[in-house]
Each structure stands twice: as structure tokens, then as C-alpha cells.
């Protein structure tokens, strides 16, 4: 008997999330799916069960986590909840990975009008502050590369960059946080000054592709000249071809890039 495959809407009902969250998990490779001839996603019940078991904590349901952010629980409780997720999932990068759909839930609710601008700001800022506290408690390794974290010029959203910081700090790299609204010229000057070994820039879909192309070329030139590793991330429409640097789409890819950079540095030091 051929197994009946589930649609995104059916999986969403089973997991108690939106169909958009299911599609995002699939696109990130977290929830494996097949494609029909018409490119529609289809999921096996076994795969959905696996996904639910592995993410059995509260983060498995982004809507519940967002409700918690809006419920008024104090900062200490929020940190306690995140530490509980860390104990359940085994690492901070897994917690960060599980929070990606929560960010998507915030955006979706704001777009469909079920979340006000004030509520979106409250939820985003509360989570950003909690993530910053967690990242600050993770010590850097002696001799590890130093990374500058910034948003693309014109980008206002930093929550995704906060997830990147948590992953990078857990890996042991010291971080310099530039965040939003830092002029591109000042980022270029800082990189040229030799204060960092790597630069990570985040952009969302609101950024103009033409602007991102120009920024990629300028950042690539200054990073290449200073032998600084360049990383471009987020949902922004970065150019398909990057003259210098790397493009990552997931936090798992970010971890792979961190490992690759350290491996290359070790090889250079041994020569």
C-alpha cells in the first residue's frame, strides 16, 4: 500500500503551527519533504513524527513561544525557559535553530494583521535582550578569530543576527556587535583597520537587491585586501555570484563555515 503523504496545511494542523512555518522548516532542511510534479511539498507521517520528537520542547510550536513572549513573563523567566530548551536540545546552536521559525511566526502575524506593530516590537526586543544576555555569558577561546556582526546598510532587523551571535559565541569566537544603522563606510573603515578576522552581514527581504549587490562588491574588496573572512546571511536577496566571501542560509551552514575557517587558519599556521 502506498503511504499517504501529508500537505503543508495538514502538517501544520498536527504540529499546531502555521503552514508558513512548515514550509520554512522544509526549506531550511529541518523537516524533510518530497515534491509533487507541481513542486508542492509533501511529508510522510514518519518524518513529521521524527521532527516532533526531536523538537519536543516548547520551541516546537512557534505560536506558543510567541504567546509566551507577549504574555508579560519577566526577563528571568524568559532566560529560564531558554536554559530549559538548551537542556532539552543539547546545545545553544540547536536552540537558535529552533528559534528561526519563531522569527517567522512574528513576521507572519505582523503581515496578516494579527500582531500589532507594538506587539511585534515587544516580542522582538524581549527575545533580542534575552539572547544578548546568553551570548555574553559564553567565553571566547584564546586565539580564536574575532568577528564583527552587522546588518546591511538600510536593514533595521537584528533578531536574526542575535541568533548568529549565539552560535558564533558558543563556537568560541569573540564578537564585536555593530548591529543596525552602522554606515557602510564605518564598517569598511573598521575592517580596514585590522580589528577583526571575520565580518558577518545580515539582510532581510526588505533590502533592495541592487543595494545588496553594491554592498557585496565593496565589502568583498576591503575584506579581500585585509584577508578578512566575509559571510553574508539572512533572507536578503544577496547576489547569486559573490566575488569574495560566502553565503549561508541556515545556522547549520554557519557552523560548517566556522569550522572551515578555523581549519584553514590552522593549516596556514602549520606551514
CATH number of 56-137: 1.10.1240
What is the third-level CATH fold of 1-54? Multidrug-efflux Transporter Regulator; Chain: A; Domain 2 (1.10.1660)
Residue 139 has pLDDT above 90, yes or no: yes
The domains of the chain are located at 1-54, 56-137, 147-270
Q: Of residues 114 and 224, which shows the higher confidence score?
A: 224
Q: What is the mean pLDDT of residues 12-33?
A: 79
Lowest-confidence range among 45-54, 159-168, 185-194, 229-238?
A: 45-54
User: pTM for the whole thing?
Assistant: 0.80
Same fold, 1-54 and 56-137: no
Q: What is the mean pLDDT of residues 236-242?
A: 93
In angstroms, the Cα distances linking 165 to 55, 70, 156, 246 are 22, 23, 17, 17
pLDDT tens, position by position, 188-217: 999 999 989 999 999 988 899 999 999 999
The model's pLDDT over 52-104, given as tens digits with 9 standing for 90+, comes to: 777 655 555 677 788 888 887 788 888 998 998 888 878 999 889 888 888 88
> In what helix (H) or strand (E) does residue 221 lie, and over which residues does it extend?
helix 209-226
The class level of CATH for 147-270 reads alpha beta
Percent above pLDDT 90 for the chain: 49
Question: What does the pLDDT read at residue 226?
Answer: 94
> Is pLDDT larger for residue 15 or for residue 40?
40
Q: How much of the chain is in helix, strand and coil states, percent to nearest 5?
A: 55, 10, 35
- Reference 123, options 69, 59, 72; nearest CA is 69
Tell me which of 65-74, 116-125, 172-181 is least confident. Answer: 65-74
Question: 153-166: per-residue pLDDT in tens?
Answer: 989 889 999 999 99
Q: What is the pLDDT of residue 1?
A: 46
Q: How far is CA 210 from CA 132, 234, 235, 262, in A?
A: 31, 16, 15, 32
Q: State mean pLDDT over 10-24.
A: 77
Distance CA 42, CA 30 (A): 14
> Cβ distance 267 to 261 under 8 Å?
no
Amino acid at each position: 500500500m502506498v503511504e499517504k503523504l501529508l500537505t503543508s496545511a495538514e502538517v501544520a494542523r498536527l504540529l499546531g503551527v502555521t503552514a508558513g512555518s512548515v514550509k520554512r522548516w522544509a526549506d531550511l532542511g529541518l523537516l524533510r519533504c518530497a515534491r509533487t510534479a507541481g513542486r508542492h511539498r509533501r511529508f510522510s507521517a514518519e518524518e513529521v513524527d521524527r521532527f516532533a520528537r526531536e523538537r519536543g520542547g516548547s520551541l516546537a510550536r512557534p505560536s506558543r513561544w510567541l504567546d509566551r513572549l507577549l504574555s508579560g513573563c519577566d526577563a528571568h523567566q524568559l532566560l529560564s525557559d531558554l536554559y530549559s530548551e538548551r537542556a532539552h536540545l543539547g546545545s545553544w546552536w540547536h536552540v537558535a535553530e529552533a528559534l528561526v521559525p519563531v522569527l517567522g511566526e512574528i513576521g507572519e502575524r505582523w503581515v496578516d494583521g494579527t500582531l500589532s506593530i507594538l506587539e511585534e516590537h515587544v516580542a522582538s526586543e524581549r527575545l533580542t535582550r534575552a539572547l544578548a544576555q546568553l551570548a555574553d555569558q559564553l567565553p571566547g577561546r584564546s586565539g580564536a578569530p574575532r568577528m564583527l556582526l552587522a546588518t546591511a546598510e538600510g536593514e533595521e532587523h537584528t533578531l536574526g543576527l542575535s541568533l548568529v551571535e549565539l552560535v558564533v559565541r558558543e563556537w568560541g569566537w569573540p564578537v564585536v556587535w555593530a548591529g543596525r544603522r552602522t554606515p557602510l563606510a564605518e564598517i569598511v573603515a573598521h575592517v580596514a583597520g585590522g580589528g577583526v578576522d571575520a565580518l558577518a552581514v545580515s539582510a532581510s527581504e526588505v533590502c533592495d537587491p541592487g543595494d545588496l549587490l553594491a554592498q557585496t562588491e565593496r565589502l568583498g574588496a576591503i575584506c579581500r585586501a585585509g584577508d578578512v573572512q566575509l559571510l553574508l546571511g539572512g533572507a536578503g536577496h544577496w547576489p547569486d555570484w559573490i566575488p569574495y566571501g560566502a553565503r549561508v542560509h541556515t545556522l547549520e551552514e554557519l557552523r560548517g563555515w566556522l569550522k572551515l575557517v578555523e581549519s584553514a587558519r590552522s593549516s596556514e599556521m602549520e606551514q
